[in-house]
Amino acid sequence: MIDALTGGLVGLAVAALLPANPVTVAQRQLKVLTNTLSGALRNLAEALTEKDAVKAAGVLAELRTSQSTIDDYKSALQTGSEIARIAPIRWRSKDELSRYQTAAGPVDYAIRNTRVLARRSMAALKADERIPDGVPDVLKDYADAVDCLKGELEKGKTPKQTREAVRNAARHLTARRLGGDGFSSKVVLAQIRSVAVDLLQATGLSRSEAMEALPPLSPPAGSAGPAAASEPARDHEDQPGRTNRP
């Protein structure tokens, strides 16, 4: 009995003196989150290629359950920040942890926008609207970029490769190469663009820098410059802080 009590007290003392590495915790939570996002993008690409509305509905259903994963990631970051602030042994993790904090909000946005994207894709497929042939490839490229983001953050790198991968994929989203003949298909294209902005922000760019990094959907006309053409659309059900199901 005494030995067990002593062992428990020693364990508590060690935990207090050697708190969990906040970066390791952030890595673990981000891995779950990015796997959810990249998997959804790939599955949605398959649904569009196969013109399968049921598969698109499955992607939407899965993403609707992702809020707890997002909350877990943000909670891990908050706890990690507190550990890095008060535990001397973890002070050096502050800089690396900041990259995960930078990615948190934009990845949340990307998942929200992908939910809207899945819903509108499902609607477009049900209505037999034409989705441009190049869209599935762009979604697959985004999924690869999400995996790249995870890898670069795990290695403690500034995610420059991710940034370039997103920009390369988004270059295909111009009026010259893509089009859509129905409301849902047009929203699909707008949301794909929104996801690009989110992913670029996850690499550390500001919102304005992310929009400027993308080519305009169409040549500027009148007062509508590249930044206006690049403005991502936000579905009213997926605003920050809202938990309504899309």
**Both structure tokens of 195:** 């996801």
- 31-40, 82-91, 95-104, 158-167, range with the lowest pLDDT: 82-91
d(CA 82, CA 15): 15
pLDDT at position 177 is 52
User: Does pLDDT of 92 surpass 70?
Assistant: no
Torsion sign across C-alpha atoms 197, 156, 100, 246:
positive
Q: Which of 31-45, 169-183, 196-210 is least confident?
A: 169-183
pLDDT of 198: 96
- Residue 134 token pair: 């190049």
Residue 72 neighbours by CB under 8 Å, 6+ apart: 29, 32
- For helices 94-126 and 22-49, the axis angle rounded to 10 degrees is 20
Distance separating alpha carbons of residues 233 and 230, to the nearest angstrom? 9
Which positions ≥6 away from 80 have C-beta within 8 Å? Answer: 22, 23, 25, 26, 93, 97, 100
**Please, which residues have CB within 8 angstroms of residue 207's CB and are 6 or more apart in sequence?**
197, 201
Give the pLDDT confidence score for residue 10 in this predicted structure: 38
Torsions phi, psi of 221, nearest 5? -135, 130
How many angstroms separate the first and last alpha carbons of the chain? 54
pLDDT for residue 220 is more than 60:
no
> Can you name the residues that pair with 224 across neighbouring β-strands?
221
Task: Give the residue carrying structure tokens 């992908």.
Answer: 114
Question: Which parts of the chain are beta strand (E)?
Answer: none
Query: Token match 């998997």: residue?
Result: 39
Amino acid symbol at 188? V
Say whether domain 14-234 belongs to CATH 1.10.1390: no
The reported pLDDT for the residue numbered 241 is 42
Q: 100-133, pLDDT tens digit by residue?
A: 888 889 999 999 999 999 999 999 999 998 888 8
Residue 202 has pLDDT above 90, yes or no: yes
Q: 41-72: per-residue pLDDT in tens?
A: 999 999 999 999 999 999 999 999 988 888 88
Cβ pair 110, 195 in contact under 8 A: yes
- DSSP bridge pairs for 221: 224
Average per-residue pLDDT for the chain: 77
